[in-house]
Amino acid sequence: MGPGPSDVNPRVLSALGRPTIGHLDPQFFMLMDEVKSLLQYAFKTKNDLTIPISAPGSAGMEACFVNLVEPGDKVVVCSNGVFGGRMAENVRRVGGQLILLEEEWGKPVNPEKLDALLSKNPDVSIVAFVHAETSTGVRSDAEHLCRIAKNYDCLVILDCVTSLGGIEVSLDEWKVDAAYSGSQKCLSCVPGLSPLSFSDAALKKLKNRKSPVNSWFLDLNLITDYWSGSEKRSYHHTAPVNSIYGLHEALIILKEEGLERSWDRHRQNHVLLRDHLEGIGLRFIVDEPYRLPQLNAVSIPDSVDEQAIRKSLLNDFDLEIGAGLGSLAGKIWRIGLMGYASNNGNVLYCVNALKEALSKNS
Amino acid sequence: MGPGPSDVNPRVLSALGRPTIGHLDPQFFMLMDEVKSLLQYAFKTKNDLTIPISAPGSAGMEACFVNLVEPGDKVVVCSNGVFGGRMAENVRRVGGQLILLEEEWGKPVNPEKLDALLSKNPDVSIVAFVHAETSTGVRSDAEHLCRIAKNYDCLVILDCVTSLGGIEVSLDEWKVDAAYSGSQKCLSCVPGLSPLSFSDAALKKLKNRKSPVNSWFLDLNLITDYWSGSEKRSYHHTAPVNSIYGLHEALIILKEEGLERSWDRHRQNHVLLRDHLEGIGLRFIVDEPYRLPQLNAVSIPDSVDEQAIRKSLLNDFDLEIGAGLGSLAGKIWRIGLMGYASNNGNVLYCVNALKEALSKNS
């Protein structure tokens, strides 16, 4: 019950162990097509380029920036946590001109500030932000932020690593141009894959680049030749066949439950956890309307040795919860209720374990 | 029995399905340390930076070039197949000055030509080549080529994707500075990880870079903070936990057998296959001293519909063999005898299936 990897559904673990077939086997091509269509369902998009990148979420993030940002492009990154900071680092490394819109950690990105910034910088071509900040448990209003970016004709890059499957993500309705996620959060698959989706406008920007993409491994011009639905697929790299078996199974599980029911379950279990945690005096660091149900960040009471508590949970209760990152290190815990792990039993187990650990260590 | 992914040992498939634990769990750190030490055994090196990159072999290749080559650096790539060509593409994208030493496909890299080239270009700082070209089945004499590169004070980048575990690889003895491999060839693990090793000299070049590494995901300055054996590990990206369970098991299997015995087994099964294939009139495209036992490339007889044969093998015999790539497409088959798949039974099964398919389709 940390910030991810979440507990993996046994069906996914079992799918992982199926015999490996070739990455150019016609049977595997059929599986790839199913994965594409299941990812389109999960992302709520018709984007044809909707595929898993063969590496963790950080590589999905890099794939967006390295394909869409050319040297000199002006890019606004709205940063309110660790992963916004990582986006900014990506812009720097790819040679973009970074405009950083910083927000206090634990607060959502502020739409008015974005509007004001874009009105003063009409040559910005890309806006990027994190939908669900895993470092703080805050949800930004993606729909609103996308609307503003679109008013200024900007492409939008959206980090959906922790949101996908846990709260609403609607790429087409919100007009997101490039989105990436991770397999190991609310999809409850093993870590190692990054679902990614590009709109037609994003593809157009990619096709019209003046300079080559500086990564060969993440060059979507080449990757799409392998993932395209056509008969004639070109080998690019060896796909992580078994991990894709796992993702396929995880997405089938999501579709069986249904997106809306999954979001609902995440909300209900969050409410249950919230009531219990507040009952033992723990406070959420995020204001109620912006709390992520799948990532519950609470302040650590003074006088509590937070490392001792986490160690006791891990050793005595086999239970992992997350520590704070960056400026929140030592100040918060992050309790994940993601995907398969978001259930009633886990909430009660966690609360009871936490109570015991707190009473033993105080 | 294609050019990889090879058939995965059931012990590895079973390890993959173990419950996922956190990438910051102390138990996982212990596993990481074991993987490092097992990889040092496999690569025959004491290099401390010997780790799996969290993505396929192509990302391991990119990690070497993106960390070691700065814009303007003169790099010699010796290319005698598809993967040498990919190395050259990496040098171009990272802004290096490429000097391409091309050799006919199916021939090993020529040491005399490398020597002559380096003597004419004293400002070359890096030499890169492929040890075992998966596209043609040829082995280049890595020891000899490294010795020449060292005479000119060059760093050496070595592609060991198909060699590691199947033929001798001795990084320290040969003085290789950066090597990468793939999990899915002679290690018989699932595809998706790229074992990598950097020498002290390579690390020094990395630490003294004037420009930042242009990939965040592959920046070894950051990755080593997570993989270092120290108490204080820094989170970089979420490691592909279950794939690393698989690699761990695959490396234990290799160590149980012993490197030398594994090389020996690969050689013996190759000889058996060679005798049978030559018995039915198939000819190897590589001269005997340079043939890879794990990747057997044979010419397709005139009048044979090669696609029909491969389709028949796949559909009637559940057997995959590889087609030719690039200029060898339609001209050769590539039969893998890699890792777990390199055994007597597979050789006989393959030869009999091929005989039947050839007689049915001629």
Chain A residue with the nearest C-alpha to that of B21: A5
Written as tens digits, the pLDDT of chain A (362 aa) is 999 999 999 999 999 999 999 999 999 999 999 999 999 999 999 999 999 999 999 999 999 999 999 999 999 999 999 999 999 999 999 999 999 999 999 999 999 999 999 999 999 999 999 999 999 999 999 999 999 999 999 999 999 999 999 999 999 999 999 999 999 999 999 999 999 999 999 999 999 999 999 999 999 999 999 998 666 788 999 999 999 999 999 999 999 999 999 999 999 999 999 999 999 999 999 999 999 999 999 999 988 999 999 999 999 999 999 999 988 999 999 999 999 999 999 999 999 999 999 998 87
The confidence score (pLDDT) of residue A284 equals: 98
Q: What is the pLDDT of residues B76-120, one digit of tens each?
A: 999 999 999 999 999 999 999 999 999 999 999 999 999 999 999
Residues of chain B positioned with their CB less than 8 A from the CB of A17: 13-14, 16-17
Residue A143 burial (C-beta neighbours within 10 Å; 0-12, 13-18, 19+): middle
Nearest-CA distance B112 → chain A (Å): 31
Q: Is the backbone of residue B147 left (phi > 0), alpha (psi -120 to 50) or beta?
A: alpha
The C-alpha atoms of residue B160 and residue B147 are separated, in whole angstroms, by: 17
Of 3.90.1150.10, 1.10.540.10, 3.40.640.10, 3.30.70.1280, the CATH number of B10-256 is 3.40.640.10
Task: For chain B, give the number of residues.
Answer: 362
* Intervals of CATH 3.90.1150.10 along chain B: 258-360
Please indicate whether, in this complex, the C-beta atoms of A238 and B18 are within 8 angstroms of each other.
no
Cβ pair B136, B80 in contact under 8 A: yes
Q: Is the backbone of residue B197 left (phi > 0), alpha (psi -120 to 50) or beta?
A: beta
| A191 touches B at CB < 8 Å | yes
Please indicate whether, in this complex, the C-beta atoms of B320 and A22 are within 8 angstroms of each other.
yes
Q: What is the pLDDT of residues A207-243, one digit of tens each?
A: 999 999 999 999 999 999 999 866 678 899 999 999 9
Task: State the average pLDDT for chain B.
Answer: 97
Residues of chain B positioned with their CB less than 8 A from the CB of A23: 5, 191
Q: What is the pLDDT of residues A262-302, one digit of tens each?
A: 999 999 999 999 999 999 999 999 999 999 999 999 999 98
CA distances (Å), A313 to each of A320, A352, A361, in order?
7, 10, 11
* Number of Cβ within a 10 Å radius of residue B283: 12
The C-alpha atoms of residue A333 and residue A318 are separated, in whole angstroms, by: 16
Residues of chain A positioned with their CB less than 8 A from the CB of B190: 20, 240-243
To which residue do tokens 């016609």 refer?
A26
Q: What is the pLDDT of residues A187-200, one digit of tens each?
A: 999 999 999 999 99
The C-alpha atoms of residue B86 and residue B159 are separated, in whole angstroms, by: 11
Q: Give the CA angle between residues A83, A85, A90 to the nearest 5°.
A: 95
The C-alpha atoms of residue B203 and residue B193 are separated, in whole angstroms, by: 21
The C-alpha atoms of residue B56 and residue B69 are separated, in whole angstroms, by: 20
Residues of chain A numbered 157-186 and touching chain B (CB < 8 Å): 182, 184
| B192 touches A at CB < 8 Å | yes
Task: State the average pLDDT for chain A.
Answer: 97
Topology of the domain comprising B258-360: Aspartate Aminotransferase, domain 1 (3.90.1150)
Q: Which residue in B55, B57, B212 is closest to A59 by CB distance?
A: B55
The confidence score (pLDDT) of residue A231 equals: 67
H or E element in which residue A263 lies: helix A259-279
Residues of chain B numbered 28-87 and touching chain A (CB < 8 Å): 54-59, 61-62, 66, 86
The confidence score (pLDDT) of residue B228 equals: 87
Of 1.10.10.10, 3.40.50.1360, 3.90.1150.10, 3.30.460.10, the CATH number of A259-360 is 3.90.1150.10
3-state helix, strand, coil in chain B (%, to 5): 45, 15, 40
Cβ pair B24, B233 in contact under 8 A: yes
| A313 touches B at CB < 8 Å | no
* Intervals of CATH 3.40.640.10 along chain A: 10-256
Residues of chain B positioned with their CB less than 8 A from the CB of A213: 93
Please indicate whether, in this complex, the C-beta atoms of A217 and B62 are within 8 angstroms of each other.
yes
Nearest-CA distance A5 → chain B (Å): 6
Residues of chain B positioned with their CB less than 8 A from the CB of A216: 58, 62, 86, 89-90, 93
> Strand (E) positions, chain B?
49-53, 74-79, 97-102, 126-130, 132-133, 138-139, 155-159, 178-180, 194-198, 295-299, 322-323, 332-336
| β-strand partners of A195 | A52
* Intervals of CATH 3.90.1150.10 along chain A: 259-360
The confidence score (pLDDT) of residue B231 equals: 66
CB pairs under 8 A between A and B: 178
The C-alpha atoms of residue B61 and residue B194 are separated, in whole angstroms, by: 8
